[in-house]
Chains A and B, each alone.
Chain A
Amino acid sequence: MAFNDFTAESPENFEQKCLCVLTLDVSGSMAGNPISQLNAGLLSFHTEIKDGDDEVLRDRLELSIIEFGSKVQCIQEPALVDNFDMPKLSVKGTTKMVDGVRAAIEKVEARKEWYKSTEQPYYRPWIILITDGAPDDDQDVAALAEEIKNGATEKKFVFLAVGVKGADMKTLSKIAQPGMPPTKLQGFKFSHFFRWLSNSMGTITNKQKGEKVAFEKPDWMEEFTID
């Protein structure tokens, strides 16, 4: 037998999951261009993962979508991108932002309970908040800030807040997890943000052993300072 290049066959293995809950503001102020840009961004995000060449990301990333206006609604339960069509958002009412993020935290906890009950290891879930306004007056921002701080410290999830033009960045800074300041979107560059998110999720789902994630510098981010 001749000495050849080494060749081998690999087994089929189940990819361990990474949950990302998109928590999206659909309040009245998002009407018009913002909501249509957000919908276009979501659609290209979905397509990029579904048709892209990162097979690990496709089999590993579970997406869930929660929208908040006057009401909070989970419009997509956690699922691989292959298993659902991206829903189209429409605007409705005010900004129940705190309730929306709370629902995302509950979604993360429920999914983690399922992972645990099936004994599968999982990657730390992500919660991404996108908002263009300030929360309604009845929203308890201080309590949410505490909840996020504790959740992040206890490594329950990673929380990233993204403000769109008009967003109350001071509030977002209050609720941001330590070490992960809120970022502000340039104009309505949702497609840029979601391309970045897709690359970043690819990076996260490929990381090993508590590796710090070095994100590439986003081209959608606007410089801002919190005074």
Chain B
Amino acid sequence: MNETVNSSKWLVIGASVIGKSHIADDVPCQDSHLYKSLENGWGIAVVADGAGSAANSDKGSAFVVEAAVMAFSQLLDKEQWHLHQTLPDETTWVLAARQTLKEVRAGLDFFAEENEWEVSSLACTVIAMIYSPLGILITHIGDGRAAFQQKEDKKWLAAMTPHKGTEANETVFITSAIWQVEELELSGVKVPESRVITSPPIAFALLSDGCEKHSFECSRFDEDLQKWSDPNQPFSKFFTPLTANLSSAMEQDIAVEEIEAKWEDFLKGGTKGLKQEGDDKTMVLGKLKY
């Protein structure tokens, strides 16, 4: 259950829907998401995407979103950034985020042991965001995307860089052997990658990789230069109509359940690409109320 969804200055919605190839293979949806709002317009949103090759990754991702929301709540209880309305500096956040994700991983080890599973069978990625009217704290392990719309010029910008391998479907998981190496890098960013965004946001989105090519400019091939690139650019024609619709829902006091039902329908087949997508699809969308 998502708690106190609509009591802060943000309206946050989310859905995780099964992909076409998982329906065909009779595999459960391996994505999970969870969010929680806190005082002063602060909140936590988490998305986890279970590895297709891991037998219990649906349970892994469900555990990780619960554990991450709890662990980052405890971090905020301790640091009180939301009560003091201040963002930590980058060094503080990088250390705190790494430590918090390590606690989530420790919980996952315990969960695996309790059920007599290999922890690798619970493999999943994780993206955790602490959002606020002041800025954003984000940390992640693996792929997926995150975006925010800055208040200043209404531009949509990427909030993270996904960790990707050489092969198109390779990434790293919270269960991977990443914790012994302090300076591990993938896709040019550290694992975990943690960022402090000090530009005030008016909207944000977290998504699993099943949604990425439908919502981000993320794969471009320049025929003249014969070079491929990942612009990692949130597509404003995708996000802006969605947040505009969220704003109108807020104005009309539409019940969150009703909004989320429509949101789920959208992820299932709101565009041709989403409808045909083989992978599971998760997106959490937040819009600041004026």
* A:91-144 near B, CB below 8 Å: 116-124
**A118 contact from B21, B209, B228, B274, Cβ within 8 A:** B228
CB atoms of B168 and A16 under 8 A apart: yes
Residues of chain B within 8 A (CB-CB) of A217 are none
Does B290 reach chain A (CB closer than 8 Å)?
no
A15 CA / B170 CA spacing, docked (Å): 16
Of the listed stretches A5-13, A25-33, A39-47, A185-193, chain B binds A5-13
**A123 contact from B168, B219, B259, Cβ within 8 A:** B168
Expressed in whole angstroms, the minimum distance between the Cβ of B190 and any Cβ of chain A is 20
Does A206 reach chain B (CB closer than 8 Å)?
yes
* B:204-226 near A, CB below 8 Å: 209-210, 213-221, 226
CB atoms of B248 and A211 under 8 A apart: no
* A:167-217 near B, CB below 8 Å: 203, 206-212, 214
CB atoms of A1 and B251 under 8 A apart: yes
A8-B242, A206-B279 are contacts. A2–B216 as well, Cβ < 8 Å? Answer: no
Expressed in whole angstroms, the minimum distance between the Cβ of B60 and any Cβ of chain A is 13
CB atoms of B237 and A9 under 8 A apart: yes
Does A224 reach chain B (CB closer than 8 Å)?
no
CB atoms of A1 and B219 under 8 A apart: no
A175 CA / B164 CA spacing, docked (Å): 32
- When C-beta atoms are compared, the residue in chain A nearest to B173 turns out to be A209
Does A56 reach chain B (CB closer than 8 Å)?
yes
Expressed in whole angstroms, the minimum distance between the Cβ of A204 and any Cβ of chain B is 10
Expressed in whole angstroms, the minimum distance between the Cβ of A81 and any Cβ of chain B is 18
CB atoms of B167 and A8 under 8 A apart: no
CB atoms of B245 and A212 under 8 A apart: no
A6 CA / B273 CA spacing, docked (Å): 15
CB atoms of B53 and A211 under 8 A apart: yes
Question: Which residue of B213, B216, B254 has the most chain A CB atoms within 10 A of its CB atom?
Answer: B213
A206 CA / B276 CA spacing, docked (Å): 10
Expressed in whole angstroms, the minimum distance between the Cβ of A49 and any Cβ of chain B is 15
CB atoms of A13 and B245 under 8 A apart: no
- Kindly supply a per-residue 1/0 record for chain B positions 258-290, scoring 1 wherever the CB is within 8 Å of any chain A CB and 0 otherwise: 010011011000111110101100000000000
Bin the interface of chain A by size.
35 or more
Expressed in whole angstroms, the minimum distance between the Cβ of A19 and any Cβ of chain B is 12
Interface residues contributed by chain B, number (CB under 8 Å): 60
CB atoms of B227 and A208 under 8 A apart: no
Does A51 reach chain B (CB closer than 8 Å)?
no
Does B48 reach chain A (CB closer than 8 Å)?
no
Expressed in whole angstroms, the minimum distance between the Cβ of A36 and any Cβ of chain B is 33
A15-B219, A212-B53 are contacts. A7–B228 as well, Cβ < 8 Å? Answer: no
Interface of A is mostly: loop
CB atoms of A14 and B170 under 8 A apart: no
Residues of chain A within 8 A (CB-CB) of B221 are 14, 118, 120
- When C-beta atoms are compared, the residue in chain B nearest to A210 turns out to be B53
CB atoms of A11 and B217 under 8 A apart: yes
- When C-beta atoms are compared, the residue in chain B nearest to A124 turns out to be B167
**A13 contact from B53, B218, B276, B278, Cβ within 8 A:** B218
- Kindly supply a per-residue 1/0 record for chain B positions 12-29, scoring 1 wherever the CB is within 8 Å of any chain A CB and 0 otherwise: 000000011100110000
CB atoms of A1 and B241 under 8 A apart: no
Residues of chain A within 8 A (CB-CB) of B92 are none
A3-B252, A208-B52 are contacts. A9–B219 as well, Cβ < 8 Å? Answer: no
Residues of chain A within 8 A (CB-CB) of B171 are 209
Residues of chain B within 8 A (CB-CB) of A2 are 248, 252
CB atoms of B214 and A208 under 8 A apart: no
**A119 contact from B165, B215, B227, Cβ within 8 A:** B227
Residues of chain A within 8 A (CB-CB) of B266 are 5-8
A117 CA / B228 CA spacing, docked (Å): 9
CB atoms of A121 and B235 under 8 A apart: no
Expressed in whole angstroms, the minimum distance between the Cβ of B245 and any Cβ of chain A is 5
CB atoms of A56 and B249 under 8 A apart: no
CB atoms of B219 and A14 under 8 A apart: yes
**B270 contact from A8, A16, A206, Cβ within 8 A:** A8
A211 CA / B51 CA spacing, docked (Å): 7
CB atoms of A3 and B169 under 8 A apart: no
Does B180 reach chain A (CB closer than 8 Å)?
no
**B21 contact from A6, A124, A155, A206, Cβ within 8 A:** A206
Jot down 15 A-B pairs with beta carbons below 8 A, ordered by A: A6-B270, A7-B266, A7-B270, A9-B235, A9-B241, A10-B213, A11-B238, A16-B168, A117-B226, A118-B227, A122-B167, A208-B52, A208-B210, A208-B279, A209-B143
The 6 nearest A-B residue pairs measured at CB: A211-B52, A206-B278, A120-B228, A6-B266, A9-B237, A16-B168
